[in-house]
Amino acid sequence: MIRILVTDGMESSGIDELRKSGFEVVEKFYSPEELGDALKDFNCVVVRSATKVREPIIDKALEGGNLKLIIRGGVGVDNIDVKYAESKGISVRNTPNASSASVAELAIGHMFAAARFIGVANATMREGKWDKKKYEGFELGGKTLGLIGFGRIAKETAKRAEALGMKVIYTKRSGKEAEYDNYEYCDKEELLKKSDFISLHIPYDKVNGPTIGEKEFELMKDGVYLINLARGGIVCEKALLDALNSGKVRGAGIDVFKEEPTKNMDIVNHPRVSVTPHIGGSTIEAQTRIGEEIVFIIKETFK
């Protein structure tokens, strides 16, 4: 019998479907020190963002000779040493389609929250304050949204932004996409200079570090809004805080942090920052789709 380890949770209907299909499913989180030994007895492991599958864990798992598949329930696979695993004959898959709409909707939500002071106004009203005159915001319609990275989530974000009357521009390493002529392609520097809102949709660069730092903030318009639901570390948190305090960045929407759970309470408590605890894909619909996609991958691999 094929044995599946689910370390960070999975939608119950997907687990039920796997068990009905004859797979043994174990739901248990292991510490990094324990995970490698545990994986000796499993053919597949399903992880989210909490579990890191690094080279030492892969080496230990290989001693059992059973592990053939690692699945990341979500988009990014930076918590897995993908190339190393694949070099050892272990397939690595993810579920890139399942949560795109959910993350895009939250990105738009953070734009509204930052531009209209939704978070801080909510908090101060609960303190008995009526600070109506302090919270004059901005409309999204007519503003330019710059997307750094133009994958599935960015495209879903662009679709929703366009419906709100925003002008969408984008940049990506591989260049312009011909089928998206309704959006303007430009290089990163031009995008930073032209955008009223900037939303990040790229992986973390382990070699070069943050994509947005002091230099990039200097290129941006005064009063820009920055949205990051991609990966913690993409934005230098100190540089962001400086830009917020100087007024260079009028507001920000942040769902991901360099360290999670974050200890950077200066950003969390900043009155012009809308924050969420890495919940981009945390919708009922996305979790159902992720479960369905995981089931499909497992059945396809072990048929």
- Segment 159-180 mean pLDDT: 96
- Residues 149, 156: contact at Cβ < 8 Å? no
278 is a catalytic site residue? yes
- Sketch the domain layout of the chain as residue ranges: 3-96+283-301, 100-275
Residue 260 falls in the annotated catalytic set: yes
- Confidence tier at 96 by pLDDT (50, 70, 90): confident
CB atoms closer than 10 angstroms to residue 79: 17
Q: Looking at residues 247-261, what average pLDDT do you find? A: 97
Residues 6+ apart with CB under 8 A from 13: 288, 291
The predicted-structure confidence for 197-212, as pLDDT tens digits, reads as follows 999 999 999 899 999 9
Which pLDDT does position 206 carry in this prediction? 86
Please state, for a pLDDT cut of 70, what percent of the chain lies above it: 100
pLDDT score for 102: 97
Region 237-252: mean pLDDT is: 98
* Common-topology check for domains 3-96+283-301 and 100-275: yes
Q: Which of 50-54, 73-77, 227-231, 273-277 has the lowest mean pLDDT?
A: 73-77
Q: Which of 216, 278, 289, 293 is catalytic?
A: 278
**pLDDT at residue 76 is higher than 90:** no
- The CATH architecture assigned to 100-275 reads 3-Layer(aba) Sandwich (3.40)
Q: Is the pLDDT of residue 75 over 90?
A: no
Where residue 119 falls among pLDDT bands split at 50, 70, 90? very high
Instruction: Report, as an integer, the average pLDDT of 181-208.
Output: 96
Of 166, 200, 202, 201, whose CA–CA distance to 184 is shortest?
A: 166
Record: fold of 3-96+283-301: Rossmann fold (3.40.50)
- Active-site residue identified among 110, 231, 250, 270: 231
189, 214, 260, 300: the catalytic one is 260
* Mean pLDDT estimate for the chain: 96
The yes-or-no verdict on residue 58 having pLDDT over 90 is yes
Question: Does pLDDT of 116 surpass 90?
Answer: yes
